[in-house]
Structure 1
Amino acid sequence: MRMYLLALNPTDSVTEGFLPAAERLALEVTVLTDQPEAHRRVYPETEILECDVRDFHAVITRISNHRRPDAVFTNSDHLQTQAALAADYFGLPAKDWKAALRAKDKAEMRRHLASVGADTVWSTELGVGEDPAVLADLDAPYPCVVKPREGVASEDVVLVDSPEELVRRCKEIQARRPGASLVVEEYLRGELHTLETLGDGRIRHVLGGFRTELSPHPYFIEQCCTYISSHREPVAGQILTQLDALGVGFGVCHTEFVVHEDRARIIEVNYRAIGDHGDLLLAKLLDIPLFEHILRTHLGKPLPADLGARTDSVARRDYPCADRTGTLIAAPAATDLIVDDVQLTYRPLRKLGERRELHHSNRDQLGVLHTIGNDQQAVDRVATDYLSSQRWEIQP
């Protein structure tokens, strides 16, 4: 069976998760990408074809001129709609392209949830090239949040406290992203959480989620995520109802939301597996073939009624972050340890000698630390001790 995998840049989710899973499922994989050389350097054994993957027509044409597909899949935030349209064209199992578009387009998500009575959040959209001065006289509920309509990794997401700051921040983002539309929306207070789900269009499994600690405002950088096996009611039910309203239910999904006084409200829906190594941690933590399950849904295979996931494990993810622009001159190497029955895994996300600007986003993360065990206090202690014993140094 042949699976076409759409990708932009290479990611650890594909390299360490989906491609090995495809091999275990005996799938022949063809990667379609607009960055073929970057992928060939990472996995030279895999068939890689150049394609304008942001254009669903180009994807369909490339597949039609190659070999008949049995599945079209992507784990990219940016390519879910294209993959859904291509899969549907060939009569293959797929996400609803309308749901994929609603998830990706943060302004459309807000409009749709409000139109069906699922949730109403004050928001407005600033189109490409539109003068931010038009926002100055809006009756916005300050503080509010500015972000790219189709952004990822908390890039250019910022909290603003006044009309003057709103206009200024929008101009700054437009200078960096001249082709981007922006969303301005009310700041939703509460604890930040995620919900991880996997469905086949018939049943939907909830895989738990994470409680997320962020950097101080005005930015929203993930710093620590603690696994939660199940969210209390009515929280989980409220989010699942909102996902149903969006049409989200096929394949894997990573939803970010806040909880305030038992009211759960979606921040954004990422219609793919949780990123930043969270999917790799989830597979290990639950002790299930997560990536195989995800791919099987796109092959039309039903999910089992019981995934057989472990329920006795606890875990957290930590991200040491850069605090300045500069060159990384000291950092720990990749590490795998067992300390007091806690599995500890550290992976660098930035190479020694690499110079980067400060982005005030998840792009500033220098590495990721996974700790898994059976006791939360032990996991927290091992993670804290490891982080305090290491050194990350950036030379301006």
Structure 2
Amino acid sequence: MRLYVLARNPTDSVTEGFLPAARGLGLDVTLLTDQPDSHRRDHPDLEILECDVRDFRAVISRISAHHSPDAVFTNSDHLQTQAALAAEYFGLPGKDWRAALRTKDKAQMRRHLAASGADAVWAAELPAGHDPAELASLDAPFPCVVKPREGVASEDVMLVDGPEQLVRRCAEIQARRPGAALVVEEYLAGELCTLETLGDGRVRHVLGGFRTEVSAPPYFIEERLTFTPAHPPPVVDQVLAQLDALGVGFGACHTEFVVHEGRARLIEVNYRAIGDQCDLLLAQLLGIPLFEHILRTHLGEPLPTDLGARTDGRARLDYPCARIAGTLTAAPHAADVTAAGGVRLTYRPLRALGERHELHGTNRDFLGVIRATGTDQAAVDRAVAEFLAAHRWEITP
């Protein structure tokens, strides 16, 4: 069976998760990408075809001129709508392209949730090329959050305190992202959480979620995630109802939301598996072939009604983060450690020694990722704290 995977830059999710899963399922894989050289360095034996994957017409044309597809899949935030349209064109299982578009376009998500009666969040849109000064007259409920309409990974997501700062921040983002439309929306207070789901259009499994700690304002860099096997049922029900309103229910979905006084409100919906190595941790923690399950849904296979997932797992991820621009001059090497209490700890560097980087205010500032799993949260937390205390990350301006 032939699986087409759409991708832009290489990611751990594809390299360590989906490609090994596809091999395990015996699939013939063709990778379509607009960055072929970067993928060929990591996968010299993989069939890689260059394609403007941002254009669904180019994707359909490239597949039509090659082997007949059995599945079209992507785990990229940027390519969900394109993959959904291509799958529909070839009559294959896939996500509803409308739902993929609603979740990718943050302004459309807010409009759709409000129109459906699921939730109403004050929001306004600054179209591409428009003067940010247009926003000065808005009756906005400050503080507000400004972000790219179709952004990812908290890039250029900032808290603003008033009209002047709003106009200034929008101008700064436009300078970095010419042609990008922006969204301004009310700041939603509360505990930041995630919900991880997997469905086949018939059944939907809730895999648990994370509680997320972010950096100090004005940025929203995710610095620590702590796994929770189950959020309170009323909270889960509220989130699932909003996902239903958006039409989300096929394949993997990573939903970010806040809870305040028992009310759950969506921050954003990433219609794909959670990234930044959280999906690798989740598969290990739950003891299920997560990536295989996701691919099987796109092959048209029903999910089991019981995934057989473990429920006793506890976990935490920490991301040592750059605080200044400069060259990384000291950092630990990759490590796999068994700590006290049976905790399994993995550290993987995300930036090489000697590399110089600017400061981005996003997850591109991550220097590495620490993943720790066990059955006792206190033991997991101690293992991470001890690893952080025993190592240093230094940046020379």
TM-score class, shorter-chain normalisation, is: over 0.9
Q: Compute the displacement of 1:77 (Å).
A: 0.3
Q: Does residue 124 in structure 1 map to residue 148 in structure 2?
A: no
Matches within 5 A, 1:1-396: 1-340=1-340, 341-396=342-397
Amino acid at match of 1:115: A
Once the two structures are superposed, what CA deviation does each residue of 1:327-369 show, in whole Å capped at 9, x if it has no partner?
Answer: 1111111100001110000011111111111001111111100
Deviation at 1:66, TM superposition (A): 0.3
Distance in 1 of aligned mates of 2:183 and 2:95: 25
Task: Quote the offset at 1:137 in angstroms.
Answer: 1.1
| Aligned counterparts of 2:81 and 2:56: Cα–Cα separation in 1 | 8
Q: Distance in 2 between matches of 1:329 and 1:47?
A: 37
| TM-score, structure 2 as length reference | 0.99
How far is the alpha carbon of 1:234 from its aligned partner? 1.0
**What RMSD, in angstroms, separates the aligned Cα atoms of the two structures?**
0.5
1:209 and 1:120 map into 2 onto residues whose CA distance is: 24
Q: Following the alignment from structure 1 to structure 2, what is the Cα–Cα distance between the partners of residues 280 and 382?
A: 19
Shift of 1:233: 2.4
The gaps in structure 2 that reach 5 residues or longer are none
Which stretches of structure 1, 4 residues or more, deviate above 6 A after TM superposition? none
Mapped partners of 1:374, 1:86: distance in 2:
42
The letter of the residue matching 1:352 is L
Cα distance in 2 between the residues matched to 1:153 and 1:359: 11
Code of the residue aligned with 2:122 in structure 1: it is W
Q: Which secondary structure state, in structure 2, belongs to the residue aligned with residue 245 of structure 1?
A: helix
* TM-aligned CA deviation for residue 273 of structure 1: 0.4
**Identical columns (%):** 74
CA distance in 1, matches of 2:305, 2:234: 23
In structure 2, distance between residues paired with 1:193 and 1:245:
20
TM-score, length basis structure 1: 1.00
CA distance in 1, matches of 2:32, 2:223: 33
Q: Distance in 1 between matches of 2:299 and 2:272?
A: 16
> CA separation in 2, counterparts of 1:99 and 1:286?
27
1:211 and 1:130 map into 2 onto residues whose CA distance is 37
Write the letter of the residue equivalent to 2:374: G
Counterpart CA distance in 1 for 2:247 and 2:135 is 31
Amino acid at match of 1:369: I
Note the C-alpha offset of 1:376. 0.6
* Cα deviation 1:198-238 (Å, max 9, x = unaligned): 00000000000000001111110011100010110210000
1:105 Cα deviation after fit: 0.2
Please give the secondary structure, in 1, of the residue aligned with 2:169. helix
Deviation of the 1:388 alpha carbon: 1.3
C-alpha distance in structure 2 between counterparts of 1:325 and 1:152, whole Å: 21
Q: Deviations over 1:181-202 (max 9, x none)?
A: 0000000000000000000000
Distance in 2, matches of 1:152 and 1:333, equals 28
- Structure 1 residue 170: deviation in Å? 0.3
Find the aligned partners of 2:230 and 2:104 in 1 and give their Cα distance: 25
Q: Distance in 2 between matches of 1:173 and 1:306?
A: 45
In 2, the alpha carbon distance for the partners of 1:221 and 1:132 equals 24
Partners of 2:233 and 2:15 in 1: how far apart?
36
Secondary structure at the counterpart of residue 119 of structure 2: coil
